[in-house]
Amino acid sequence: MKITILTPALAALLGFALAGAPVTAQAQTSTNTTTAPAAPAKAKTNKVNYHGAITAIDTTASTVTLLSHSKKEGDKTLVLSVDATTVIKRDKVAATLADFKVGERVTGSYVAEASGTLTAVKLTFTTPKPKAATAPAAPATPSTAPATPAQ
């Protein structure tokens, strides 16, 4: 008996909820016909990744020169300008350009400015992990125990 009374009551409640939905949706529709000015488009910055060996460091001019290698372009000399926005890290710790040495292998990314200057976005050096020394395999030694006859 309780089920037969609850079923019509739930159906009526659902009907009222659905009937009120379009009114609610209409009330939320904006009548503002003026539109806000569009936000200026951000300039696209195409970051280029690099990896290579440092060939020169000029802390006065804030530049680092490196010999980069890629499969597409082969060996290429890059002169990267380093500015206040460049993220410089040495073994995952913040560093300065003076912390680097010629010959070290670095990775990072840069952007090409309209003026033609290559500005480093990121410059990272990670100390290579030493290779584990492998011990030579022990020579096989013949067993000194007497062989037991098969039965």
Does residue 29 carry a pLDDT above 80?
Answer: no
pLDDT at 124 over 60: yes
Q: Structural domain boundaries of the chain?
A: 48-125
74: alpha, beta or left? (left if phi > 0; alpha if psi -120 to 50): left
pLDDT-derived band at 42 (thresholds 50, 70, 90) equals very low
Whether residue 58 contacts residue 102, with contact meaning beta carbons closer than 8 Å, is answered with no
Per residue in 129-139, pLDDT tens?
887 766 666 66
pLDDT of 57 = 96
The CB density around residue 63, as the number of other CB atoms within 10 Å, is 18
CA-to-CA separations, 102 to 29, 48, 65, 75, 81, in angstroms, rounded: 64, 22, 9, 17, 16
- Reported as type and span, the H/E element at residue 69 is strand 63-70
* Tens of pLDDT, residues 51-109: 999 999 999 999 999 999 877 778 899 999 999 999 999 999 999 999 999 999 999 99
CATH hierarchy code of domain 48-125: 2.40.50.320
